[in-house]
Amino acid sequence: MDIADNNINLAENENVNINNINNINNINNINNENNEIITDVLIVGGGPAGMMTGITAAQFCPGKKVLVVRKESDAVIPCGIPYIFGTLGGTDEDMAGRLPLIAAGGEILIGNIVEIDKVRQIAYMEYINQDYNSEDEQNENIAAGADDKISAQVLTENINKQQQSTKTKDSNLVSIKFNRLVLATGGKNFIPPIKGTDLEGVFSIQKDYNYLENLFTNLIPKVKKLAIIGGGFIGVEFADEIRKLGIEVHIVEMLPHLMQVSFDLDVCAKVEEILKSRGITVHTGCQVEEIISDPSEKKVAGLRIKDKEDIKADAVLIAIGVKPNVELAKKIGLTLSRSGGVWVDAFQRSREDDKIFAVGDCAHKQDFFTRKANHAMIASQAAAEGRIAGMNLYSLRLSRYNAGSVSVYSSEIDGLAFGVAGLTQVQAAAEGFDILIGESRLPDHHPASMPNTTEIYCRLIFSKESMQLLGGQITGGQTTGELVNTIGLAIQMHATATDIATMQFGSQPRLTPSLHPMVAATGDALRKNVQIV
């Protein structure tokens, strides 16, 4: 779904100083008198937001010690999770490496922050034991690469050393002294308040290596019929991948169409058509009342749908959304927004303390146009917030107005790529915008007879009054993701139809259309506007 997940893998193949490998669970800055770890920047959470904050902080704050504490030794790429079960063929193929952080000079500890004293600037951490049965197994569980295998050895060798040298006297907790704190605690899956969510065979997607490996190894191979509650990105992508294994798949969505929260109806209809052609049964406009158990009342047997027939299934995936994980933020008294995230300013600083930041799924987000709460809990948004926080921990390096989240999404099913940025036509109309729509259909190479050519459909939505770009959608081939990113940038820069129509662009027969799809769609909108006038 989200091409920005690879932000934290950019340096995997670069030359890394082998001495920096010792920065994994090999914290040298220990105050022996007080038995505490001392760091300048403490980042709680090691997903895309936390890792990007750490990388950026290490790069922009030379001389400052940067420490990431996360629960997982091996982190997965969040938006690659559905592909573990089909295209990738295993959890080990979806690993997010540590080397970019280490190469920048950052450090990692595997543990759980259980308490924070924000006045004294001390966090208390409990170590999480990594149950490696052998050195070979340990190395296999770390992302591929010789440097990562060395880091795995260093990790386990140094856990015991640190446990002995940094425990507080009256407990098994380790104290960490800091002067900048970044919460990157992520989100939690939303589980509906219906009967049966605790049955065997009912699961949600968690960003945890061991959890996903268990699904891949023990649950999915036994499944014959899978029902998915939720027709958003996770539900649709997971359905498409699981179907490749020959499993019978049902998607149940309460709205009239799949993907309707993110796309206009014509794109939704295309997605549904492709899924149905692949043998996936789509149930829209359906409300799940209960997850049914088998006679033992222990295992799942299907779904009970309001006013419709039951759906039989021996496994159920719940994929209806994520809510901010703000337990630590609550403990230290940070202000939460109405949407449940930590309130932050334009530089990701909390309201109570400008030395405490929040990034990623745990932080509040607002819509770019309406300033209403926005639930764009995606890796690209999280990584962007991490970059902002990392640059501005000690001084405001960027002059930034927090305009809000543009919400840029993309995905691909069976050769059809589709993406969106900004408001959809339905959303723009619902917010009261008087809109103008421009469309274009072009081959993505020129001439159209060029091999592997795919049609690109581009829809741009403008405010009729100001002609400012409000949103856009693309369907097509492999160029879709970057076209959507370009639309997102244009929205962020408050581009107008005139700006886009006069945009200078390069073209090459094997790489691009002869006319940029955005320029063509904008021209269509301008012609319509002239006709209206």
Give the three-class secondary structure for 64.
Answer: coil
Q: Where are the domains of the chain?
A: 3-186, 191-320, 416-532
Backbone angles phi, psi at 102, to 5 degrees: -65, -40
For residue 273 the two structure tokens come to: 């058509």
Q: What is the CA radius of gyration of the chain?
A: 24
**Sheet of 288-293, strand order:** 288-293, 300-305, 311-312
The residue behind tokens 């049964």 is: 281
Spatial CB neighbours of 233, under 8 Å, sequence gap ≥ 6: 1, 259, 262, 409, 411
Pick the CATH number of 191-320 from 3.90.1150.10, 1.20.1290.10, 3.50.50.60, 3.90.1150.110: 3.50.50.60
**In sequence order, what are the residues at sequence separation of 6 or more whose Cβ sits closer than 8 angstroms to the Cβ of residue 532?**
436, 464
**Distance from C-alpha of 173 to C-alpha of 122, rounded to nearest angstrom:** 12
DSSP 394-438: SS--S------B--EEEEEETTEEEEEEE--HHHHHHTT--EEEE
Cα 214 to chain centroid, rounded? 21
User: For residue 390, what are the CA distances in angstroms to 39, 178, 320, 348, 519?
Assistant: 15, 15, 31, 9, 35
Query: What averages of pLDDT result for each successive group of 10 residues across the chain (533 residues)?
Result: 37 37 48 75 96 97 96 89 95 91 94 95 86 38 33 38 46 90 96 96 94 95 97 96 97 97 95 97 98 94 97 97 95 94 95 96 92 84 94 82 83 94 94 96 92 94 96 95 96 96 93 94 92 53
CA-closest candidate to residue 222, choices 286, 168, 152, 299? 299
Encoded tokens for 124 = 């208390």
Q: What pLDDT does 3 receive? A: 34
> Which tokens belong to 64?
């400052």
pLDDT at 430 (0 to 100): 93
Write down the pTM of the prediction: 0.85
Residues 6+ apart with CB under 8 A from 309: none
Closest CA to 412 of 92, 87, 91, 89: 87
Q: Which residues of 292-302 are buried (b: 16+ CB within 10 A; e: fewer)?
A: bbeeeeeebbb
Prior bond of 447 cis (ω within 30°): yes
Query: Cα separation of 234 and 389, whole Å?
Result: 28
Residue-level pLDDT at 402:
62
Q: What is the DSSP string of 443-476?
A: ESSSSTTSTT--EEEEEEEEETTT-BEEEEEEEE
Phi-psi region of 186 (alpha: psi -120 to 50; beta: other; left: phi over 0): left
Closest among 416, 298, 314, 405 to 361, alpha carbons compared:
405
- The pLDDT, as a whole number, for residue 399 is 64
pLDDT in tens, 273-331: 999 999 999 999 999 999 999 999 899 999 999 999 999 999 999 999 999 999 999 99
Q: Which fold has domain 416-532?
A: Enolase-like; domain 1 (3.30.390)
The β-bridge relationship of strands 180-183 and 41-44 is: parallel
Enter the DSSP assignment of 209: H
Backbone angles phi, psi at 313, to 5 degrees: -160, 145
Q: Where are the beta strands (DSSP E) in 36-127?
A: 36-38, 41-44, 66-70, 75-76, 95-96, 107-117, 122-127
- Residue 429 phi, psi (nearest 5): -65, -40
Predicted pLDDT of residue 35: 65
The verdict on domain 3-186 having CATH code 3.50.50 is yes
**Residue 303: strand pairing partners:** 291, 311
Q: How far apart are CA 395 and CA 388, in angstroms?
A: 11
Q: What is the pLDDT of residue 370?
A: 84
Q: Do domains 3-186 and 416-532 have the same CATH topology?
A: no
pLDDT at 137: 38
Report helix, strand and coil shares of the chain as percent, to nearest 5: 30, 25, 40
Can you give the pLDDT at residue 500? Answer: 98
Q: How far apart are CA 222 and CA 459, in angstroms?
A: 43
Instruction: Please report, to the nearest 10 degrees, the dihedral formed by the alpha carbons of residues 253, 259, 261, 262 taken in order.
Output: 170
C-alpha torsion sign, points 271, 483, 492, 387: positive
444 vs 254, 415, 440, 477, 515, CA distance in Å? Answer: 35, 14, 12, 8, 9
Q: Which residue has the tokens 């949407």?
A: 339
